Amino acid sequence: MSDPISDKAETAVARVDQLVAQAKEKAQRYRAMQQAIEQVSVSGASKDGTATVTVDSAGNVTGLRITDRVREMSGDQVAKAVLSALRTAQSKLPERLGEVMADTIADDPRTRDVILGSYRAKFPEPEPEPDRTPPAARIGRLPDEPEATPPRPPRRPAPPDDDDEGFGGPVMIRE
């Protein structure tokens, strides 16, 4: 005949061993998730393709590519293109991290949802940029087709660097 106390102790020890093994396995999957997340890198481009930004899993810029088209743009236009590309890249992070988590901690949807919710709050989808193209310029253009950059006006030649000439006469009268 078996001892009921001994049987309960063996069952309790077996259950503790099982819980310890599960905890170790879960910790290993979380370490794997952390290592995979550290390797995440996503890129985003501005609407016109002028700038492409790459960010790491924390949303930090790790790469920036700007095309030669910036020579035809104002500084403000270049800045807007870079920021647009940055926001686009960062907004891709939750989706990419969700893929990593599905591979590593798929059995823990609460943790995944909390982490992804945090990323979505920090890096929301960029607001659509208003279309400032005159209606006539949009005719025949596809919605995703980048706008043509208007040509820059020709530069005026620099005025002569002669102190004796100005508005029809000398700038200073010498006596």
Tens digits of residue pLDDT in 24-63? 998 999 999 999 999 999 999 999 999 999 999 999 999 9
pLDDT: which is higher, 171 or 85: 85
Distance of alpha carbon 57 from the chain centroid: 9
Mean pLDDT (whole number) for 71-83: 95
Report how far residue 106's alpha carbon sits from residue 138's, in angstroms, rounded to the nearest whole number. 46
pLDDT of res. 20: 94
Which backbone phi and psi does 10 adopt, to 5 degrees? Answer: -65, -40
Q: What is the pTM of this model?
A: 0.64
Report how far residue 165's alpha carbon sits from residue 162's, in angstroms, rounded to the nearest whole number. 6
User: What is the per-residue pLDDT across 10-33, written as a single tens digit (0 to 9) for each?
Assistant: 888 899 999 999 999 989 999 999
Environment class of residue 101 by beta-carbon count within 10 Å: exposed (0-12), middle (13-18) or buried (19+)? buried
User: What is the per-residue pLDDT across 100-135, written as a single tens digit (0 to 9) for each?
Assistant: 999 888 888 898 999 999 999 999 998 876 666 566
Pairing of the two strands 51-56 and 61-66: antiparallel
Which residues lie below 8 Å from residue 55, measured CB to CB, with a gap of 6+?
A: 41, 42, 43, 44, 61, 62, 86, 89, 90, 93
Is the pLDDT at 146 greater than 70? The verdict is: no
pLDDT of res. 91: 96
Mean pLDDT (whole number) for 59-85: 95
